[in-house]
Amino acid sequence: MNNTTSPYDHDDESGGADQATRDIADVPAVEVITTAAVHLMSAAAVKCGLADAPDAQTDLDEARKLINALAGLITAGAPEISDMHARSLRDGLRSLQLAFREASTIQDPIGKGPGEKWTGPVT
């Protein structure tokens, strides 16, 4: 018999989940919204080919989905967060939309690119 303990053994199995639930309850909404936006922004940047090895990671179909989700989140969340937060998120979104346009071999018509349903035309 092996009497060693694993770092994954817990006396109280629900302790980790309870701790995570308590922690998220203390996080302000503006932080949750901006953190989600930054995650979407980072993933979209990688999929647009803006990472270290762009050829291996570029996937414009995935980038389009992420940029659409990001645009919806920023548009819906902007009134709920301060202009200071919303402005920087909008700038990042616009940069991603332009990077997508540059990376795409087939150009979307103005106003039909990723996220432009929510943001309006990006040029």
Predicted local distance difference test score (pLDDT) of residue 24: 85
Over range 63-70, report the average pLDDT.
99
pLDDT higher than 70, residue 2: no
Which residue type, as a one-letter code, is found at position 22?
Answer: R
Predicted local distance difference test score (pLDDT) of residue 53: 78
Exposure string (b/e) for 26-64, b if CB count within 10 Å is 16 or more? eeeeeeebbeebeebbebbbbbbbbeeeeeeebebeebb
DSSP state of 32: H
Q: Phi/psi at 54 (nearest 5 deg)? A: -60, -35
Residues 6+ apart with CB under 8 A from 92: 37, 41
Give me the residue spans of the domains in the chain. 28-119
Write out pLDDT tens, residues 85-118: 999 999 999 999 999 999 999 999 999 999 999 9
pLDDT higher than 90, residue 20: no
Over range 29-43, report the average pLDDT.
96
Which pLDDT band holds residue 32 (cuts at 50, 70, 90)?
Answer: very high
